[in-house]
Amino acid sequence: MNINEGLGLGNSLTDENMIFLKQLGVNHLTVGVGVLGRDEPKGNDFVSRIRGGAYYEADDLVALRKWIEGNGLKLSGIALGLFPRWEKIIIGQAGRDEQIENWNKSIRSMGKAGIPQVQYNCMTNAGAFMPLWRTSAENVGRGGARIVRFDYSVARKVPITNYGEISAEKMWDNITYFLKATIPVAEEAGVTMVMHPDDPQVPSLAGIARIIRSVESFDRVFKIMPSRANSMDFCLGCFSQMMDNEHVYEAIRHFGKAGRIARVDFRGVKGTKEKFDEVFPDDGQLDMLKAVKVLKEVGFNGIIQMDHVPHLTSETDYSNDIASGAIIGGKSSRAFGFGYLKGILQGADALE
């Protein structure tokens, strides 16, 4: 498996951070566009164009790839990069066809630039007062580390947004329309669209249904468009929130044997989808070594990425956005996570 990291274009994607990752033995990188930071686009011209344009141009993506390769890393994909430009698609508003066409233009550009994956999800964070629908970031974990928490009893009190109430049936209609219009383009371009589960996996938030929250929902996604360009991000944290450990391993086998797992997110949690804390990967409720052994058992050999980790009180954030930095953790906590992940992968190899 290839150890991957995600950095945000415009804030945490810097030469310094890429060198830091290379020193840790990380060789693959996913770039988030307009996700973590809330600042204005800045940096090189191609950075501003990627962050600010309606779609991605191939030449700008090539420049991005060459910058990353210049630091010894391989650009494995774009993460959630089109979200600022696809609200009408997910909500099902007038104008979604134009946004879908821009998505397809970006996918074609990614294919031309040699970028193999786009990671995305089918939820909206409308109404959230922290990124990724977390409800607090000042909880105390191991040794006083700062951990983020989701508590449905708090989140369910968030009022309905200007989008109004959107049912699960309507969300499925929107996603079906989107997949049928984009997966053929991705397949032709040689790009895999990698869907992340809704996180958290509660029925609805701020009046908007959340539908990608079970094994059965992913089965439905793949039935809509059976192409291998339609794939999934198996987030160990999300699946651990949804079900007990044995069912997580069964889900890995279910999707792994079908060849549907394009990448894996490595995250430790304690709790359930209604209330959970994000903890260090060695401190969570899932046996990470067993999870990796099952991934190897089904032949998965793709991208595995360190996901969110607690924030150590003695360090600065990875991101310039305080709330986002609290979620993804800082350099020291992520370095610990990468070391643990590398040890897990080596241990799984040794046990074969």
Cα–Cα distances in angstroms (integers) from residue 137 to residues 20, 58, 321, in the given order: 26, 38, 13
What pLDDT shows up at residue 322? 42
DSSP symbols for 212-252: --SHHHHHHHHHH--STTEEEEEEHHHHHHHS-HHHHHHHH
- As assigned by CATH, the class of the 2-350 domain is alpha beta
Cβ-count burial 27-43 (b if 16+ within 10 Å, e if not): ebbbbbbbbbbeeebee
> Computed from CA positions of residues 271, 272, 278, 284, in that sequence, does the dihedral angle turn out positive or negative?
positive
Q: Is the peptide bond before 41 cis (omega within 30 degrees of 0)?
A: no
What pLDDT shows up at residue 168? 97
Mean pLDDT by 10 residues, the chain (352 residues): 91 90 95 58 73 90 97 94 72 92 95 97 84 86 92 95 94 97 98 96 96 98 98 98 98 98 97 96 97 97 93 71 59 93 93 75
Domain extents in the chain: 2-350
Nearest to 341, CA basis, from 294, 298, 296, 307: 307
Separation of alpha carbons 218 and 215, rounded Å: 5
